[in-house]
Chains A and B, each alone.
Chain A
Amino acid sequence: MTAPAIANAALNDTTAVLAYPAQEPVRATRDSRPLRLITCGSVDDGKSTLIGRLLWDTKAVKEDQAATLQRDSKGKQNDLGLPDFALLLDGLQAEREQGITIDVAYRYFSTDKRSFIVADTPGHEQYTRNMATGASTADLAVLLVDARVGLLEQTRRHATIATLMGIRQFVLAVNKIDLTNYDRSRFEQISHEFKELALSLGVRQVTAIPVSALKGENVVYDGRASMPWYDGPTLIEVLELATTRSAQTVGFRLPVQRVSRPGESFRGYQGTVAGGSVKPGDSVVILPSGMVANVTKIITFDLVRNAAVAGDAITLVLDRQVDVSRGDVIASIDSQPMTGLAFDAQLVALQPEGIQPGKRYWLKSGSRRQRVQVQPASQLDLKSGKWNHADELPMNAIGKVHLVFDEQAIFDAYEQNRTTGAFILIDPDTNNTIAGGMITAKRAALGGIHAEESRVILSLPAELADQLMATELFAGRREDVEVRRVTAGKAAEIIDAIDG
């Protein structure tokens, strides 16, 4: 750890570990993968100004853009005579008129050490869905708070969504510190409060930085002149050292996007490796059919490769004629994803209609799209951090749900694989994306359930059991399913016990 990092660690309490990776050699931009980050926090905390400042101080703003900015800033000049940096980001006319951020803006900048993709996300609660959009692909979240105001419910909401989306590295930027006369105790109080919140969310990597986005202190240039009491890293230093998302996984995964058949003699399966690695000779299983084959070739445009790893877009050739189509998953035999008809998940409701219980939606995960029924179970209360029972989920709610499918679904837990564990829900009536979700576990099936070997035992109210067994789906599975008819009250008890 660098000296400033140690100092910052001392400044921050020791329960939170600083986000410094093991001593990796510092690589030039062109040798490292871009870091994806989001900025979030409550409205008016200065998110757009902070990114504008990052762009400005890393020389990502060209002269003609600066001239436009100066022109558009007329009449909005602050008392320092600086342009309104937020105008670099709020590109939509409605945003400029209202002085707010409506939608995610993606911006690009780089230092000599690394390149960055930053998603500037809206602070208003009504645009939470756009914040979730930005969080889904980010490696790190920069949470802004106004030093004069401290943590707000929206700060908590954003920290929670970012955590659910799998972000494990946080920077707390205590902004507008200049407006508190650089009050050290104020900074420390807010840092401490945020670390409590972060720890309750299971986040251990938090770096707190006092910044003035407007004046550019501790963003790219240090703010020692105003804050001699702070000798931790600047924001850009933390970003340069942050780690990118790894494709943690239990094994090789290739969601099949297309079957390539340019001629009679060739058949290849095209997709992007969603985890693990593969090489010729590996034995693989095709899901959901369960057929087995061996990999003979990995083809890309100008290389025949003898290995591919997570993130690579490839064409895979197998050693035998097997029935593989779009939506199937090719996986390693010895470490397979879960397949089944029922799963548990967490999701964020993204549209005004929320999530209606029992409604049939489309679910898309990887290249697989299938029908699903969604049963809300509980909703997260952002104030208390508790999950309360819920039968439906309104817009912006974070909920736990049960998913029930008509045909086999294929997933990993999101914790283990952020590609094969993620999904979106699409409303068949509007075709709009109404939720983003993360798989937590497989369920054996609907109702009170436990699996014994391969037989599934369902305990259901008698009437429901009769209805269910009359459906085509269950009629064909008499062999695997045993239904125990119970009273409705008993069924509810069993379900409660499971949800417990």
Chain B
Amino acid sequence: MPHNHPETELHNPQSTKPPLDPHLKALENEAIHIFREVAAEFERPVMLYSIGKDSSVLLHLARKAFYPGRVPFPLLHVDTGWKFQEMIAFRDEMVEKYDLDLVVHTNPRGAAENVTPFSHGSALYTDIMKTEALRQALDAGQYDAAFGGARRDEEASRAKERIYSFRTPDHRWDPRNQRPELWNIYNGMIRKGESVRAFPLSNWTEVDIWRYIQAEEIPIVPLYFAKKRPIVERDGMMILAEDPRLELLPGELKREEVIRFRTLGCFPLTGAIRSGATTLDDIVSELETATVSERQGRAIDRDQSGSMEKKKREGYF
């Protein structure tokens, strides 16, 4: 049965958007359903907000799910201290604009022991400043459910994820012993100390995310759009060279290139792509013909095959 809506929908006067296509509509409906279910079943939900494109879509869907009410849970940003400066500015702007509760957490070990991606290597740095920091923040907030923007199409071990991903009190994920998940009936029963990570975007692909951002006019960090920016080449990646803490190694040169980012994380670990895409239309058409996956620009995935699974078991997102 085609999913036809009656032609007689009343647009709000302020809304001039054409209706969503049925494919995105189905994904949106599913995500809203998950948001509402978790908010109703858990005592202390929180939404992990990483400021990237997936988080921006997640936030938009949360606002839709609870309209006309406020988003009924805080946003948690795990700040490694090495995010792109534009991301932090964007985060604060969103919180202000949409009347959100924001919790920011940085692992105190970072400053105390001076943990940096340069001194500790990407794997150890990620473990301390992301995974450990996330566990600290979740424990401190006593959150029993955490929304995340993970998508099953991102990486092989994520393809196995449930919508409700059960975690032990020490935040571990056991891929061999996941609860069966049938239909759209989610089992949210947990004991004290246990928690669930909920993934409303499970069934979205990267192209879906961009087409939805385009259709819904969702604000995103400007780093996704091409612009002439200072970069330095390192480990086969183009790294943004605007933070004074980035020390050039012997033989490295700073230069300007027209670049953009396909994913955003910590700037020393995130590679840019050469691209002239300055609009959402450009990005979507570039993606539809892309020949490499989006995670290629992520240093942390490339240690070994199966590295993401290992990180996830330890509580990384």
Contacts and interface: CB of A to CB of B under 8 A. Distances in A.
A68 B182 CA distance: 32
B29 A137 contact: no
Interface residues of B, number: 69
Interface string B20-54: 01110010110011001101100000000000000
Interface in A296-334: 299-307, 309, 311-313, 315, 326
B97 interface: no
B182 A436 contact: yes
B40 A108 contact: no
A268 interface: yes
A364 B37 contact: no
Contact of A306 (B9, B153, B181): B9
Interface string B80-109: 000000000000000000000000000000
A94 interface: yes
A247 to B, nearest CB: 7
Interface string B130-172: 0000000000000000000000110111111000000000000
Nearest to B4: A309
A91 B22 contact: no
Contacts of A366: 185
B249 interface: no
Given A103-B178, A258-B39, A91 B159 contact: yes
A199 interface: no
Contacts of A419: 183-184
B15 A117 contact: no
Q: Is the interface of B mostly helix, strand, loop or mixed?
A: loop
Interface string A129-141: 1101100110000
Given A65-B293, A88-B156, A258-B36, A272 B181 contact: no
A365 B32 CA distance: 18
Contact of B184 (A137, A270, A423): A137
B205 interface: yes
A311 B1 CA distance: 12
Interface of A: 29-34, 62-65, 68, 71-72, 88-94, 96, 102-108, 115, 117, 129-130, 132-133, 136-137, 243-244, 246-247, 257-258, 260-262, 266, 268, 270-272, 299-307, 309, 311-313, 315, 326, 350, 362, 364-367, 418-419, 422-424, 426, 431-433, 436
Interface of B: 1-6, 8-12, 14-15, 17, 21-23, 26, 28-29, 32-33, 36-37, 39-40, 63-70, 152-153, 155-160, 175-176, 178-185, 187, 189-191, 202-203, 205, 211, 290-293, 296, 305-306, 309-310
Given A106-B202, A431-B190, 9 more contacts: A30-B21, A71-B305, A91-B155, A91-B159, A117-B203, A305-B9, A312-B29, A423-B185, A424-B180
Top 6 A-B pairs, shortest CB-CB distance: A91-B156, A246-B1, A262-B69, A313-B32, A301-B64, A136-B182
